[in-house]
């Protein structure tokens, strides 16, 4: 199932949730390293996305990105937001409230191009559980909610 950012997504089954939690746990245990790796993969694959991050301007190599405290800080925020969604898989109202708030910030304050939510979500899936339909559903839910203010 490809990651989507509009419409609706089928329910995540109990077995899919269990697999997501199991796969996510070791990633989140090393959240700083994992977050930086994910964000660096995202930026090296999508250099135009870096324009939405003024503090990242001038960081032209993967090594510079990895060493940047600003990149590390933002990567940690991304990983924590995904972790909140993983934890809230059974409480979609809680997940929705947090992600809609993030959507508003990204749309109004940061003016991020929403196409990049799906791209970043795909990097996360490829890093955590490549090709897994359950994680793709969760990432789709996140993308749909992040796009809600656009």
Residue 2 lies in a domain: no
* Structural domain boundaries enclosing 24: 14-147
User: Could you give the percent of the chain with pLDDT greater than 90?
Assistant: 99
Other residues' Cβ atoms within 10 Å of the Cβ of residue 6? 11
* DSSP category for residue 90: T
CA distance 135 to 26: 15
Counted domains in the chain: 1
Question: Does some domain include residue 94?
Answer: yes
**Residue 35 is assigned to a structural domain of this protein:** yes
For residue 9, being part of any structural domain is answered with: no
- Contact in structure between 1 and 118 (CB atoms under 8 Å): no
CATH number at residue 98: 1.10.490.10
pLDDT tens digits, residue range 84-107?
999 999 999 999 999 999 999 999
pLDDT at 114 over 80: yes
Convert the pLDDT of each residue in 49-72 to its tens digit. 999 999 999 999 999 999 999 999
pLDDT computed for residue 1 by the predictor: 77
pTM: 0.94
Q: What is the DSSP string of 119-135?
A: HHHHHHHHHHSTT-HHH
Residue 12's pLDDT band (boundaries 50, 70, 90)? very high
Asked if the structure places residue 134 within a domain, the reply is yes
In a domain, 127, yes or no: yes
Q: Evaluate whether residue 22 is within a structural domain.
A: yes
> How confident is the model over 70-84, as pLDDT tens digits?
999 999 999 999 999
Residue 3 falls inside a structural domain: no
């Amino acid at each position: 199932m490809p990651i989507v950012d509009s419409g609706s997504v089928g329910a995540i089954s109990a077995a899919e949730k269990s697999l997501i939690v199991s796969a996510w746990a070791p990633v989140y245990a090393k959240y700083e390293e994992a977050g930086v790796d994910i964000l660096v993969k995202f930026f090296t694959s999508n250099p135009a996305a870096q324009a939405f991050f003024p503090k990242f301007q001038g960081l032209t190599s993967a090594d510079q990105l990895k060493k940047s405290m600003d990149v590390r800080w933002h990567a940690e925020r991304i990983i924590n937001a995904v972790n909140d969604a993983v934890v809230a898989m059974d409480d979609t109202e809680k997940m929705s409230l947090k992600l809609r708030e993030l959507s508003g910030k990204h749309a109004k304050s940061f003016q991020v191009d929403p196409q990049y939510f799906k791209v970043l979500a795909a990097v996360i899936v490829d890093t955590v559980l490549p090709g897994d339909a359950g994680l793709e559903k969760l990432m789709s839910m996140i993308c749909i909610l992040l796009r809600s203010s656009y």
